A and B are shown apart, each in its own frame.
Chain A
């Protein structure tokens, strides 16, 4: 069991991490899709009793990643904040404190559909917000998985999950990386996010994430 799995994509090496993120060693960049910060807070604001703890969980896992991998650039592939109601004091101050612990880190957010509704994160977080796509090496970093004319696409948005079937009629549903010939999908990073089942196509690979490891599942 390894905490990450290295693959070659568009001539570059990428590490698929068990924490549902991608590390791009050549650029020392960490890619995170669909964090959905403040989703639980938005629900509470609208009268849905969702417990606390999801923001702390997200931040804890980000901290572990930044401690474990040498990063100079953290890139969110969209849906950083969940909704307008996610600009809640508790959520933002926790993210602010986290930001201050990593003051020298460059952070970029590629605006996704939720960000457009939620509004950009406050300037104090010092997150550079850009529209998609963001080109980096051979990759086009995007929120939505539309193919790019010249670059290989890394995207979020879909929250892919894969169903594994085994002997004895067993099955498991797990978040996954979905690697296709010109587009790859990252699993959703956020602690309070669901998933959408994907069907594996012929020329594609699926890497499921579970219990601290990444596994190739066909």
Chain B
């Protein structure tokens, strides 16, 4: 057998490169057989640090060709040795190119392949016979490979796993799914070397522990160089900031910035916003057609690939994008990065800034484009937070049962399992380290009978032990269905958008949510993929479209979750308001926004570090309370529900709740004496958990959360692609399931999980408790206002609302019907 070769040294020397110290550290650690976590920013050479570590340790050069047998059949590449996990399919192709590059030069006979949701059927079939030496895949596709009956044999040659962009996975259920897959692979091969690549996080020890357990080597990559955060200061400001519009008022200034730079990325926060901005840029500068492009996650892969390639080759002046371009792929030519609207977090802003200024000696720079006036305060705060490097931590979810239930079915397919063995394995995954026996029994019973009681669901069976006690999926139809549903990314049913052409579909443009198309009639116009389109017809889950002649167009909304402002950024914002309250305006942003803050101060007050600002208003709509704890929209939702519940516990009341990142509004149609009711007991930290649970039952939040849980646990099935319509008779909405469970099986643990998740993730009880403690340490600063203040206005006009009620349904209906009658005048007769 040939001896180990230092491929890394050979490759770097041949190019006259000098490895960074952190790269050498990784090579040395892997040479010793250690696992580890590498913290480094994108584009800092981290791919090659782990890739060459793997090659050094496991690859051997091709044997020199022998002259006497030139026609000898090529020896196949070595079997699967390295798994490369990437969070985004879009990154897989680029990663493959990067991994492939050194192989031929160094005469390493390894093959590199992809396995993602985009992989073609023929490629899958080829891989079915033999996987490449290095396989690039996503957490979902890895789990799918583990559902193969021969999974253990397939992975028996695996030596190393690389988890790319671990910071994108650690905080969500996809990461938990990966934790479970890693537990399985480590069970089969305890010597497995695992390396994570992560951007800098506020809690690096936790990130390492979740991925590696105890032990492992931490390597710090190149430290981020200088970062510049500045703001496009608007010409004038609106006194009533409204978060509902898209910030197009800043268009002329953005045009000037784009015009003066060779290449530019414009990050937006939603897909709808990116469509609107792209269209606005084109309308203003028709001569830019072909020079600017649009990139978001719902566009077809062909479109996205084209944009990424054109950007890399320097053909594009600007790309309007969403977080779809946050990760990976190092676009060298980008000169400028603009962030439209709040970036919501320090880490995200730094990452986006890092997209620019890769030329040596040039700092990275991001320019913030405020979409409403108060975002000027946030911009100033963001710069402070970035300069202080207040990077957010990310925590792994804690034993989500829906992911566990899905994993049990996957493992039953992947060769079957013995419960005791699998339990021990599952508990080695960090998220399930303290899974109780009761929870385990429940999960087993759920996949077997659908519930804990043996008689609960007699017709139902998903997984059953065979005669040897090995749990398997007996029904081939259910097996197929499970494989189609693996994953934890939940989206609404989506419908393909294609050009209409006679005798078949034309080119594919991407996908939009079914609910959006359902509201359109043939002939209606809508904006998608940067084009004005007209709906021609809808059939077989495809919307056929043609270029529109009208100018009137709807813009699809995708139901993506809205990110809350991070703690770190929120604190920095309060600092800015507090400074303003002390007449300190120390930046161009704060100078510009000062007239607005003066109105706020005159009509009410500015929020300060030591006060809790409350505003009370009586309007035609009813009795309003505005409160500003600055704890991010998720905590505000929890806090608002909690207060609404405590206020309405004794007197039946119904509240409509609006939240944003600065505060929330409680609105009642019947009288509430806020000055008397807003007392210490309302903010008490006692009985917190019980009160939150009660508030959930009175509101609608748990139902919303259940949508995701129902899909992951396999309750709701989105259907086979192209299936005949009759299958849709077997679909029910998660809302319907939620109601049925609540009424007929209230003890179902998925319901409790929905509740717990709302508390932990959506409402973040830990942060809520901390917020209450902070509130109790502050002085209540209450103001009766005659009209909405600049801070209250965005809440007042917020249309997305939650409600909480302790009134009888019949009383609520009676009041609404009475209001209707008053509004409508004399009765209409048929």
Could you list which residues of chain A lie within 8 angstroms of chain B, going by C-beta atoms? 1, 39-54, 57, 82-83, 88, 90, 114, 117, 164-172, 174, 179-181, 191-194, 203-205, 208, 210-213, 215-218
- Residue B682 CB within 8 A of the other chain: no
Known contacts A51-B748, A203-B830, A210 near B481 by CB under 8 Å: no
In the complex the two chains form, is A47's CB within 8 Å of B667's CB?
no
Cα separation A216 to B622 with both chains bound (whole Å): 24
By a CB distance below 8 angstroms, the chain B residues around A164 are 813, 816-817, 820
Interface centre among A1, A48, A49, A205 (most CB of B within 10 A): A49
By a CB distance below 8 angstroms, the chain A residues around B743 are 53
- Please tell me which one of the listed residues B621, B813, B815 contacts residue A208 in the complex, with CB atoms under 8 A apart: B813
Cα separation A193 to B736 with both chains bound (whole Å): 7
Could you list which residues of chain B lie within 8 angstroms of chain A, going by C-beta atoms? 446, 449-451, 456-462, 475, 478, 481, 620-623, 654-656, 667-670, 714-715, 717, 726, 729-730, 732-733, 735-737, 740-741, 743-745, 748, 801, 803, 808-810, 812-817, 819-820, 824, 828, 830
By a CB distance below 8 angstroms, the chain B residues around A194 are 732-733, 735-736
Known contacts A47-B475, A164-B816, A204-B830, A218 near B656 by CB under 8 Å: no
Cα separation A26 to B794 with both chains bound (whole Å): 56
B576 to chain A, nearest CB (A): 31
In the complex the two chains form, is B813's CB within 8 Å of A174's CB?
yes
In the complex the two chains form, is A50's CB within 8 Å of B740's CB?
yes
By a CB distance below 8 angstroms, the chain A residues around B801 are 169
- Please tell me which one of the listed residues A83, A180, A211 contacts residue B810 in the complex, with CB atoms under 8 A apart: A211
Known contacts A168-B667, A215-B817, A51 near B809 by CB under 8 Å: no
B380 to chain A, nearest CB (A): 33
A177 to chain B, nearest CB (A): 12
In the complex the two chains form, is B803's CB within 8 Å of A52's CB?
no
By a CB distance below 8 angstroms, the chain A residues around B803 are 170-171
By a CB distance below 8 angstroms, the chain A residues around B620 are 167
The 7 closest A-B pairs by CB, nearest first: A49-B450, A168-B669, A51-B745, A166-B816, A53-B744, A51-B744, A168-B622
Cα separation A142 to B815 with both chains bound (whole Å): 34
- Please tell me which one of the listed residues B460, B623, B820 contacts residue A47 in the complex, with CB atoms under 8 A apart: B460
B163 to chain A, nearest CB (A): 32
Cα separation A137 to B733 with both chains bound (whole Å): 38
By a CB distance below 8 angstroms, the chain A residues around B824 are 218
B506 to chain A, nearest CB (A): 32
Cα separation A50 to B450 with both chains bound (whole Å): 8
Cα separation A211 to B715 with both chains bound (whole Å): 28
29 A-B Cβ contacts within 8 A? A39-B732, A40-B740, A41-B459, A46-B478, A46-B730, A47-B475, A47-B478, A48-B460, A51-B457, A51-B748, A53-B744, A57-B744, A83-B729, A165-B816, A166-B816, A166-B819, A168-B668, A169-B656, A169-B667, A170-B812, A170-B816, A172-B809, A180-B830, A191-B740, A192-B736, A193-B736, A194-B733, A203-B828, A215-B813
A178 to chain B, nearest CB (A): 11
Cα separation A52 to B737 with both chains bound (whole Å): 12
Known contacts A43-B732, A44-B459, A204-B830, A169 near B817 by CB under 8 Å: no
Interface centre among A51, A52, A192 (most CB of B within 10 A): A51
- Please tell me which one of the listed residues B450, B478, B714, B817 contacts residue A216 in the complex, with CB atoms under 8 A apart: B817
Cα separation A82 to B475 with both chains bound (whole Å): 22
By a CB distance below 8 angstroms, the chain B residues around A54 are 740, 744
Cα separation A46 to B729 with both chains bound (whole Å): 12
Minimal Cβ-Cβ distance residue in B for A114: B729
In the complex the two chains form, is B744's CB within 8 Å of A48's CB?
no
Cα separation A43 to B458 with both chains bound (whole Å): 12
Minimal Cβ-Cβ distance residue in A for B727: A46
In the complex the two chains form, is B810's CB within 8 Å of A210's CB?
yes
By a CB distance below 8 angstroms, the chain A residues around B459 are 41, 44-45, 88, 90
By a CB distance below 8 angstroms, the chain A residues around B670 are 168
Cα separation A178 to B796 with both chains bound (whole Å): 33
Interface centre among A1, A50, A210, A213 (most CB of B within 10 A): A50
B653 to chain A, nearest CB (A): 10
Cα separation A45 to B457 with both chains bound (whole Å): 9
In the complex the two chains form, is A49's CB within 8 Å of B451's CB?
yes
In the complex the two chains form, is A179's CB within 8 Å of B830's CB?
yes
In the complex the two chains form, is B669's CB within 8 Å of A50's CB?
no
B166 to chain A, nearest CB (A): 34
A193 to chain B, nearest CB (A): 8
In the complex the two chains form, is B730's CB within 8 Å of A83's CB?
yes
> Assuming A47-B475, A218-B824, what are 12 further A-B pairs, CB within 8 angstroms?
A47-B460, A49-B460, A164-B816, A168-B621, A168-B667, A170-B816, A192-B732, A192-B740, A203-B830, A205-B830, A208-B813, A211-B810
By a CB distance below 8 angstroms, the chain B residues around A1 are 810
Known contacts A54-B744, A169-B801, A205-B830, A48 near B815 by CB under 8 Å: no
- Please tell me which one of the listed residues B462, B654, B726 contacts residue A170 in the complex, with CB atoms under 8 A apart: B654
By a CB distance below 8 angstroms, the chain B residues around A208 are 813
By a CB distance below 8 angstroms, the chain B residues around A174 are 813
Cα separation A83 to B446 with both chains bound (whole Å): 24
Minimal Cβ-Cβ distance residue in A for B729: A83
Known contacts A192-B732, A192-B740, A167 near B622 by CB under 8 Å: yes
By a CB distance below 8 angstroms, the chain A residues around B475 are 47
Minimal Cβ-Cβ distance residue in A for B716: A48
- Please tell me which one of the listed residues A82, A171, A210 contacts residue B809 in the complex, with CB atoms under 8 A apart: A210
Minimal Cβ-Cβ distance residue in A for B715: A48
By a CB distance below 8 angstroms, the chain B residues around A83 are 729-730
B617 to chain A, nearest CB (A): 12
A217 to chain B, nearest CB (A): 6
In the complex the two chains form, is A167's CB within 8 Å of B809's CB?
no
Cα separation A146 to B366 with both chains bound (whole Å): 59
- Please tell me which one of the listed residues B457, B655, B828 contacts residue A44 in the complex, with CB atoms under 8 A apart: B457
Known contacts A45-B459, A211-B809, A51 near B816 by CB under 8 Å: no
In the complex the two chains form, is B669's CB within 8 Å of A217's CB?
no
Cα separation A217 to B815 with both chains bound (whole Å): 11
By a CB distance below 8 angstroms, the chain A residues around B745 are 51-53
B822 to chain A, nearest CB (A): 10
By a CB distance below 8 angstroms, the chain A residues around B669 are 166-168, 170
Cα separation A110 to B115 with both chains bound (whole Å): 51
